[in-house]
Amino acid sequence: MQTKNQISNKHIANIDFKQHLLLLVLPLCLICTIIMFIPVIEQTYLYLTLVSCGYLLSYAISYYIYKQNMLRLWQHLEQVIRINDTTYELVNLSSQYDSEKSFLDALLEKAVSAVDDAEMGSIILVDELTHQLQFVSVIGLNIDILQKVDFTLEETFLYRLTEGRFHKTVIISNINAKSAKNDDRFVLPDASDQPICSTLSSPIKIEGKLYGMMSLDSTKAGAFGDYDISLANILTSEAANAISLYQKSKVIENLANCDGLTELYNRKKFDAAAQQWRHDPQLASYIVIIDMDNLKPLNDEFGHLTGDYALKTLAKSLKSMWHPQFLVARYGGDEFVALCHGRIEVLTQQIIQMQDALIQFTPAIHFSYGIARYEQDLESAFKQADNKMYSQKKLKKQY
């Protein structure tokens, strides 16, 4: 969606009907009055005074209308600058948000503050395959109630009013919850403290596909107009750019921090995250090193695809067992490392259970492990765990 020409000049600079009427009728009335009084006005100065008053009054009216138009234009510029600042801030700070939801929360907050009459709002995401909708961000609404609503894209008024094209922002100016149709799922009086009387809904499209929709709500009937539609068009268009940039930045961040084969953290990310590790005062922290015993035989006998499959299977087992509460990474080659909270007996039992499960695969996956207490010295703890792992590996070779 392009932002060019989305703010129409006719909503900014044009004079409305009442102003046109005032400009045309009032001077005409003054002229008629002067003409009517000409026969009875003998003094020239009185005639000139009356004409001058008519001229001054007409000028004053024109000047007043000019000032009003300039004020509207200035308000328009302030709104555009505010929206540009909003989207610029979101785009440049997108990498600082921990999740896409937190980014959408910030986006919705900016949108509600940018449109004057908006009091509440929501962002709804669309499942591309099932067309199911889910509320992910709300302001002034009860998200617990909204997330329990089961509805699809085809049931929204945005779908109906755009005939499924989602090519424009639409407005419902006077919502009456009592008379609303049963399939109007957007009418949810229990989701807000005060009933929603006006809604402005705008589609969010990313690379031509419908990503979701943003709704801005008001308790006033007829709260939104064409000017608000123009602002919403700009906002959602720039928001789509910001969301797209955010998603791409996360992909780049993921590529930089994660191992491409196993999708676990890589060595660089693990070393950096370990320095920020928060120790639990109730539970000890441990470094766990796991190294595959038979990766080379698997590669030699069955090929590298089988070896890669074994690595991914081991990584999947680690991820399901400890991620995301613990820090788990592929440290390099066939070596994996984890930083965990807990009792060493429990961690050891979990590792043994994973060993027993991986042996049942065809071909079987074998590994050795070492555990060491981690307090503040990562290098020392890593070396202790590594030595224990290699001791276990050597012990196996003796039998």
Domain parsing of the chain, residue ranges? 9-83, 97-253, 267-397
Interatomic CA distance for residues 209 and 199, integer angstroms = 23
Is the pLDDT at 8 greater than 50, yes or no?
A: no
pLDDT for residue 95: 60
Least confident of 70-79, 194-203, 350-359, 360-369: 70-79
Bigger pLDDT: 34 or 5?
34
Q: What is the pLDDT of residues 198-238, one digit of tens each?
A: 899 999 999 889 999 999 999 888 888 887 887 788 778 87
Q: What is the mean pLDDT of residues 253-275?
A: 91
- Interval 154-170 mean pLDDT: 89
Nearest 5°: the CA angle 336, 339, 345 is 100
* CA nearest to 274, candidates 288, 260, 295, 255: 288
Residue 227 pLDDT? 76
CA distance 361 to 366: 10
CA distances from 232 to 63, 71, 202 (A): 32, 21, 7
Residue, of 266 and 57, whose pLDDT is higher: 266
Provide the pairing of β-strand 285-292 with 335-341: antiparallel
Identify the CATH number of the domain defined by range 97-253: 3.30.450.40
> Is residue 221 within 8 Å of 173, Cβ to Cβ?
yes
Q: Tens of pLDDT along 35-93?
A: 666 555 556 666 667 667 766 777 777 777 778 778 877 777 776 676 677 666 666 66
Task: Among 1-5, 94-98, 157-161, name the most confident range.
Answer: 157-161
Q: How far apart are CA 378 and CA 360, in angstroms?
A: 34
Query: Which residue would you say has higher pLDDT here, 295 or 234?
Result: 295
Query: Domain 267-397, CATH 3.30.70.270 — does that match?
Result: yes
Average pLDDT over residues 153-157: 88
| Mean pLDDT, rounded, for 325-337 | 94
pLDDT surpassing 90 at residue 291: yes
Residue 182 has pLDDT above 70, yes or no: no
Cα gap 267→272, rounded to integer Å: 9
pLDDT tens-digit series, residues 122-133: 999 999 889 999
What is the pLDDT, as a whole number, of residue 111? Answer: 81
Rg of the Cα atoms in the chain: 34
- Would you state the pLDDT for residue 313? 95
CB-CB contact of 54 with 31 (8 Å): yes
Q: Which residues are CB-neighbours of 324 under 8 A, at least 6 positions away?
A: none
Judged by average pLDDT, the poorest of 6-10, 30-34, 263-267 is 6-10
* Alpha helices in the chain, H assignment, sequence order: 17-37, 44-93, 100-114, 143-147, 157-161, 226-257, 267-275, 295-302, 304-322, 344-359, 378-397
- Whole-number Å distance between alpha carbons of 103 and 107: 6
Rounded to the nearest angstrom, the gap between the alpha carbon of residue 42 and the centroid of all alpha carbons in its chain is 76
pLDDT for position 10: 44
Q: How far apart are CA 204 and CA 1, in angstroms?
A: 9
Cα-Cα-Cα-Cα dihedral sign, residues 262, 264, 268, 270: negative
Which of 66 and 316 is assigned the larger pLDDT? 316
Contact 307, 262 (CB under 8 A): no
Give first-to-last CA distance, the chain, whole Å: 68
List the one residue out of 260, 364, 349 whose CA is nearest residue 313. 364
Q: Confidence class of residue 11 from pLDDT cuts 50, 70 and 90?
A: very low
For the chain, what's the residue count? 399
Supply 4's token pair.
């060019």
Cα–Cα dist 284/280, whole Å: 7
* Measured CA distances, 48 to 39, 43, 334 (Å): 14, 9, 102
